[in-house]
Structure 1
Amino acid sequence: MADEMVLRAQRFINSTYGDVPGITKVDETGVVTWPTLNALIRALQYELGITALADNFGPTTLRTLTEKWPSIDAGSTAPANVIRILQSALYCKGYDGGDIDGTYGARVAAAVREIKADAGLDGPFPGDAVVPKLFKALLTMDAYTLRDGGDDTVRAAQRWMNATYIGRANFFVIACDGRYSRDVQRALMFAVQYETGMTDAVANGVFGPGTQAGVRNNPVSVGSTGAWVRLFSAAMAFNRRRGVAFTDAFDARLAVRVCAFQEFVRLPVTGKGDFATWASLLVSTGDTTRPGTAADCSTEVTAARAKELAAAGYEVVGRYLSNVAGTSLDKMIKPGELRVMADNGLACFPIYQTNGAAASYFTAAQGTSDAADALHWARYHGFRPGTRIYFAVDYDAVDSEVDSGVLPYFRALKAAVDADGAGYRTGIYGPRAVCSRVGGEGLTSASFVSDMSTAYTGNVASPLPEDWAFDQIVTLSVGSGDGAIEIDKNIASGRDRGQISYDPPGAATDLDVRFDLSRRAVALADVRAYLQSCGIPEKGAGDPTPTSTKVAPGAAGTTEAFDTLIAYDAVLTDLARTLRMRKALIAASVLWAARTGTTLSPKAAVAARNHCVRTRILRGPILDANDPADLRAMGRKLRDDTTFRVNTVAYALITSAHDLGLPRPGLADTDHSTLRLLDGPVQLGLYQVLEKYYAPLRAGR
């Protein structure tokens, strides 16, 4: 909502500093924005004589302000424009800054006393003077009164930390809005370091060895009092533990809440603020040395590795359902691996990740596609209905990206999984905040939390999701020799025990294999006879009676076209396996194009490859279908590189399916969808003839 005095502040900025190099005019909207606050910071720097203006109120600004005007009030020598900047900042914070007239009058003095009280600074900084750290705080978006979603207990802790530690060199005024944030978490870590006895030169806000040693030496329990209890109860409140009071006395009521927290994060239930409990409150990984019973890994769990994992106390291991097309990373579950794990008492929880490392990946269309792919691979490996599949959000997604991409992705994904009707369940892998939001909408039933990413904002200031199943805390090696394996150690909540019994895997019959060359003559005879029955002879132009397709004069004969399939069988097989498509579908299109002399136009090829790049099926640049240079280059590749041309045929089929509103071509396509995709019954028949020879080879491997 627009505010008249904020509007006046914006007009003051533009009229006074609009022509100053390094200060950009701001929009005069009456709404507080970062550009408005950044302009005020730069204006202050200008008044201080700083030449390198920046949006950051950093050490140089603080030091220079302290040297020139360490205390600004009615009797200070600060110039009128500095007072106007202060008045503007007060209005941006919601306080009465007077008339923005450069006068430090009674209204300004009253507002300063009010904000000090709100922020807990009236003790260390009594009176109505503005000190440099308060000026810095005024030029932020932080609030000092309770905000929607805030908590009174959290706010009490925020005000106490400001009052207690503001005199330390690297402790700055934090928000007092009742909300836990990254800045508040960092302030808490500094406070803990100060209480361990660290100097300003040593304290850095990081949960390193020195901080860990200090916490280990300062446990709290029933009967403890003082600052350590204050910090412990604050950490409990920040982690949204219900019923916790901000207190300096550890009593039986706090002990009960601690027991509940320890049970929730799967720590020994003692009711004491021991090191492991402190660690779980202060950093997303918690105590990385605590034992875990779950793991995830990208390498095969062989018999030797399974024995080592079981001996080390692991009970369930996360493995990847599939590889990523176009990459050499081999992380997929291997044939027989799940049985080997089960024989050694290890269950498995499946993970689906082909990308998920950037905001651009997450769309509703991608969610639908990933659901179909994951369900295929879950069945392929023999995972039974009821299995929960964890879909990855492998980056620090901010709220706006969750709104615009991640939530639509999971809505479409869950709808597709539910529509499948087999009872598979949807889980999520990602940072705490993302898991909580997606799970809060009912789109997932359990979270696999990427807590090792301790720097993620989504982990720093968010509690562990209520529906957590696995908590990933550290990478380590287990075993030795043939049994050595690198894993991510996970804490298991017991919400998901994985799967240890499987249906017969589909690996033996699902994917195509190389053609048996001994069958060439009979297969060619079948293809030749079928095409002749459609009015397409061995050589020469013909008129396929079921369609009006004419065979071009320059077309290859049937034998020559068929031998193209034989020559490029390895390419076709690998392509079909990688894309999880039927080889007969690609081969029928390749043979038909060769026999009829029809080819993809460069423009159609560009469109097909662009679609597959955008959907992460193919890696490469996005080309311009209207750029003559790109089209010429594509034409040359199609003409001179047969492997490239064969690959592009497959990408064109995928693109056509998308354009027709069909599912992406897979391993269980119906004749109806294949008919639509191949654009006619003649090509469908050709597909069926080829499949007659390919299918028995799959079944007989």
Structure 2
Amino acid sequence: MADEMVLNAQKFVNRVYGSRIGMTVEENGRTGWPVMYALTRALQWELGIDTLSNNFGPGTLSTLQSRHPVINASTAPSADFIRIVQSGLYCKGYDGGGIDGKYSDRVASSVARLKADMGVDSVYPGSDLVPKVFKGLLNMDAYVTVNSGSDTIRSIQQWLNGHYIHRRDFFVIPCDGHHSRDVAKSLLFAIQYELGMADGTANGNFGPGTQAGLRNHTVAVGTVGTWAKLFTAAMILNARNVPFGNFTGDVKVGVEAFQSFVKLPVSGIGDFQTWSSLLVSYGDQSRRGEACDGVTLITPARAQTLRSEGIKYVGRYLYNPDPTPSGDLVHKEIQPGELKTIADNGLRCYPIFQTFADSADYFRPEQGTADARLAVAQAAKHGFKHGARIFFAVDYDTQDYEITEWVLPYFRAIAQEMAHIDDAYRIGVYGTRNVCSRVSAAGYASASFVSDMSSGYSGNLGYAMPANWAYDQIVTRTVGSGDGQIEIDHNIASGRDIGENSFDPIAPDTLLDSELPTEAHEALLLEIRQTMKDIGIGETSANTKWSIKQSLDLVLHNDALITGMARALRMRKSLIQVPVFWETRHYDTSLDYLGDIGVRVYHSGVQTVPPLADKFIKRDASTGPGQIFAATAINARNQAIRDGVLSGATRDPASDADVWAIWQQLNEDPEFNIRQVGYVHRYHAVKYGVPRPSLTSSPQNVFDYLKYYQGDTSNAETEAEKRLQVYGTFEKYNALSRGDVW
């Protein structure tokens, strides 16, 4: 919403300073960084600074301090100088006195209120404007609680300002009730000051001097005063619900919960490791975790090194986008036999997926879809069974707005694509604390792999540990010697993810189906038409709804879905394509249509007009693209759930409610219907005692699957012979795609 006085401030800075400072701002009545930058440049111009900047830096502050250490009605340098102050007040939401160039009582009252909101009124009493407060005026920090901020966090921010603003390198931090990078940095400055560090030595970094000092400042029940406040402040800023102030019994309970959460020894005291985990994302880097990740091949010797280091879980990459890797990255992708080595040596592997995920514009929805498909293909290729969690990487310092605009849509696409194959693999996220927390809160990831080693990243500093963290990456180290030497990123494990130690046989790339290139669609149509003609079926038939082309279009429209299901179930893609194509082409506008209506009448009790004949009213009927009975789908899904290839609760095919629920999905959701075809094949294999479909199913087995899909009717074998010819045509083109012929 536009504000008239902010608009006047924008007009003032444009009119008086636009040509002087080399910029103008949009006159829209809305506060923001552009107008703050312009006011900062205007102030620099008034101070006689030659090189103007958007930044209110040390040069601006020192010049202001030397020329105008106190600004009030009697010391006002000029009317325009005061108009800069008034404009800043209005942009901050305070009364600026009308932008009339006078340091009036209204202006003085607002400055006093501003200092009180900042928490510095005891250090800078009265209504004089001083340089550090002026610096805080010309930015976008809020000094009142905003956006559902915490009043407790605001009191901490005000306390830090009031307690340390007199130090040279400490500047006013926001008092908005939210933890942030600036607040985290200010807390480290405060600790360094209390450790006795001089101005110029204290730098807000968690360096050796700070670490050494904290080893001598353990706090516990009974600790009072400044150190207790600093510790409880750190706890609160890490989303711990403890009182700010003295170290009480309630604080001890909160410390124990925090230590348990981040996998520290639970002591209830604020020792060095606890201080470390509260103050810096990687915590105490001397810790030994139970997990690691890396780009190095795990050999038997290296596996034994990891075991001796206490490692249980090893993160390895599903894919290397570099077609000719060299140096340290030559074995970035999991190598043949490596997962067996990992399992044989008592370790477990959690898969990581990353291509070039190192800038915002990579994370587009279409890239998320493509990455989900590739990750599933690679996971299946390497032998990861259904239910394994794949950690998708966001490997750069992602800004919060980039998460909103890019990363969340990318992960939404991953989740949608994974849902297309019934969540065969679970989704994890690798990235900063902010990335992990926001992706998980959106429901797109069930566990987080946190890149805490990058402590200076804006997405780590000022953010609490994600609630669903599984692995916490804290340090790179080289362990072992000789053949067993290996460089790893050492990680703390929470136990929320334990990787995998049982794998399917590796599937060579040549056995995994791919999506059919669009340039092959027309040729496939021509051959499918000829195949159908050879078995006596034309483009259309009486009482059928779909032509050959329309039926094939449906299959090709769902090519990504069918490919994903085939890869996830490790079966030939043609086994899914044929039933969908065949049943769609043979959908009878009389019998099949009446069957669909009859099921709806049975379960709703509502007759149609004209009334449907009793013989068509049934509790179940084949329906949808794959013409699947609800009971068959239930049995197939139950079998898949028992096999561990599908998650969820089993249903009862004898229950009208369950049959009706599944039948509606089969009838109304084509993608759901198509997903069930593969499960039906697997169910029929168990039911009729033949091998389950695989990437190397024999011609006889393929014939059996096609026959059993038809059912137990007398003409099942004859119909299967026809479908087998269609299968051959689809398989010809799928085989060409596997060989990248197109």
TM-score clears 0.5 = yes
Matches of 2:362 and 2:513 in 1, distance apart? 22
Q: What SS does the aligned partner of 2:19 have? A: coil
Change (3 A) 1:99 1:377: same
Q: 1:472: which partner in 2?
A: 473
| Matched residue type, 1:52 | T
Offset of 1:17 from its aligned partner?
A: 1.1
Are the equivalent residues in 1 in contact too, given 2:470–2:493 (CA < 8 A)? Answer: yes
Change (3 A) 1:672 1:237: closer
Matches of 1:204 and 1:669 in 2, distance apart? 60
Matches of 2:38 and 2:733 in 1, distance apart? 72
Are the equivalent residues in 1 in contact too, given 2:573–2:734 (CA < 8 A)? Answer: no
Q: 1:562: which partner in 2?
A: none
Are the equivalent residues in 2 in contact too, given 1:23–1:39 (CA < 8 A)? Answer: no
**Is 1:396 aligned to residue 378 of structure 2?**
no
Matches of 1:327 and 1:128 in 2, distance apart? 68
**Is 1:308 aligned to residue 309 of structure 2?**
no
Q: 2:244: which partner in 1?
A: 246
| Matched residue type, 1:66 | Q
Change (3 A) 1:357 1:327: farther
Matches of 1:152 and 1:419 in 2, distance apart? 44
Change (3 A) 1:310 1:82: same
| Matched residue type, 1:300 | L
Task: Select the residue among 726, 729, 732 that pairs with 1:688.
Answer: 732
Matches of 1:422 and 1:25 in 2, distance apart? 52
Q: 2:184: which partner in 1?
A: 185
Matches of 2:501 and 2:735 in 1, distance apart? 35
Are the equivalent residues in 2 in contact too, given 1:418–1:424 (CA < 8 A)? Answer: no
Offset of 1:511 from its aligned partner?
A: 2.9
**Is 1:116 aligned to residue 115 of structure 2?**
yes
Q: 2:700: which partner in 1?
A: none
Offset of 1:18 from its aligned partner?
A: 2.1
Matches of 1:155 and 1:84 in 2, distance apart? 29
Change (3 A) 1:108 1:422: closer
Matches of 1:77 and 1:13 in 2, distance apart? 18
Map of 1:590-669 to 2, 5 A cutoff?
A: 662-663=559-560, 669=573
Are the equivalent residues in 1 in contact too, given 2:574–2:731 (CA < 8 A)? Answer: no
Offset of 1:421 from its aligned partner?
A: 2.4
| Matched residue type, 2:440 | G
Offset of 1:419 from its aligned partner?
A: 2.0
Map of 1:360-509 to 2, 5 A cutoff?
A: 360-421=361-422, 423-507=424-508
Offset of 1:229 from its aligned partner?
A: 1.0
User: For 1:639-670, what per-residue CA distance to the aligned partner results, in whole angstroms no more than 9, with x for missing partners?
Assistant: xxxxxxxxxxxxxxxxxx9x977439898554
Q: Which runs of 5+ in 2 are unaligned?
A: 524-553, 582-724
Q: 1:11: which partner in 2?
A: 11
Matches of 1:455 and 1:581 in 2, distance apart? 43
Change (3 A) 1:422 1:503: farther
Are the equivalent residues in 1 in contact too, given 2:574–2:734 (CA < 8 A)? Answer: no
Q: What SS does the aligned partner of 1:459 have? A: coil
Offset of 1:687 from its aligned partner?
A: 8.3
Q: What SS does the aligned partner of 1:19 have? A: helix
Matches of 1:42 and 1:689 in 2, distance apart? 66
Matches of 1:348 and 1:497 in 2, distance apart? 8
- Pick which of 414-423 and 170-179 moved more: 414-423
Change (3 A) 1:176 1:327: farther
Matches of 1:65 and 1:377 in 2, distance apart? 61
**Is 1:292 aligned to residue 289 of structure 2?**
yes
Change (3 A) 1:308 1:133: same
User: For 1:240-259, what per-residue CA distance to the aligned partner results, in whole angstroms no more than 9, with x for missing partners?
Assistant: 112x1211x11111111011
- Pick which of 419-428 and 101-110 moved more: 419-428
Are the equivalent residues in 2 in contact too, given 1:23–1:43 (CA < 8 A)? Answer: no
Q: 2:658: which partner in 1?
A: none
User: What TM-score do you get using the length of structure 1 for normalisation?
Assistant: 0.74
Offset of 1:238 from its aligned partner?
A: 0.8
Offset of 1:689 from its aligned partner?
A: 9.9
Matches of 2:12 and 2:734 in 1, distance apart? 78
Q: 2:608: which partner in 1?
A: none
User: What TM-score do you get using the length of structure 2 for normalisation?
Assistant: 0.70
Change (3 A) 1:686 1:77: closer
Q: 1:625: which partner in 2?
A: none
Q: 1:203: which partner in 2?
A: 202
**Is 1:341 aligned to residue 342 of structure 2?**
yes
Matches of 1:223 and 1:511 in 2, distance apart? 68
**Is 1:68 aligned to residue 67 of structure 2?**
yes
User: For 1:118-142, what per-residue CA distance to the aligned partner results, in whole angstroms no more than 9, with x for missing partners?
Assistant: 1111100001100100001000100
Map of 1:45-64 to 2, 5 A cutoff?
A: 45-64=44-63
Offset of 1:367 from its aligned partner?
A: 1.5
Aligned-residue sequence identity (percent) comes to 52
Are the equivalent residues in 2 in contact too, given 1:10–1:26 (CA < 8 A)? Answer: yes
Q: Which runs of 5+ in 1 are unaligned?
A: 513-579, 593-656, 696-701
Offset of 1:67 from its aligned partner?
A: 1.0
| Matched residue type, 1:273 | G
- The alignment's C-alpha RMSD in Å is 2.8
Matches of 1:3 and 1:365 in 2, distance apart? 40
Offset of 1:226 from its aligned partner?
A: 1.4
| Matched residue type, 2:6 | V
| Matched residue type, 1:206 | N
Matches of 1:53 and 1:485 in 2, distance apart? 51
**Is 1:159 aligned to residue 158 of structure 2?**
yes
Q: What SS does the aligned partner of 1:319 have? A: strand
Q: What SS does the aligned partner of 1:463 have? A: coil
Offset of 1:325 from its aligned partner?
A: 4.7
Map of 1:118-133 to 2, 5 A cutoff?
A: 118-133=117-132
Q: 1:78: which partner in 2?
A: 77
Are the equivalent residues in 1 in contact too, given 2:574–2:730 (CA < 8 A)? Answer: no
Are the equivalent residues in 2 in contact too, given 1:90–1:111 (CA < 8 A)? Answer: yes
Offset of 1:59 from its aligned partner?
A: 1.1
Are the equivalent residues in 2 in contact too, given 1:2–1:29 (CA < 8 A)? Answer: yes
Q: What SS does the aligned partner of 1:317 have? A: strand
Q: What SS does the aligned partner of 2:460 have? A: helix
Tell me how many residue pairs correspond in the alignment: 551
Matches of 2:734 and 2:265 in 1, distance apart? 62
| Matched residue type, 1:234 | A
Q: 1:277: which partner in 2?
A: 274
Q: 2:706: which partner in 1?
A: none
Are the equivalent residues in 2 in contact too, given 1:475–1:487 (CA < 8 A)? Answer: yes
Offset of 1:327 from its aligned partner?
A: 4.5
Matches of 1:262 and 1:277 in 2, distance apart? 7
Matches of 1:686 and 1:166 in 2, distance apart? 74
Q: What SS does the aligned partner of 2:170 have? A: coil
Structure 1's consecutive aligned runs of 4 or more residues displaced over 6 angstroms after TM superposition are: 580-583, 664-667, 671-674, 684-687
Q: 1:359: which partner in 2?
A: 360
Q: 1:170: which partner in 2?
A: 169
Are the equivalent residues in 2 in contact too, given 1:426–1:445 (CA < 8 A)? Answer: yes
Offset of 1:474 from its aligned partner?
A: 0.5
Q: 1:263: which partner in 2?
A: 260
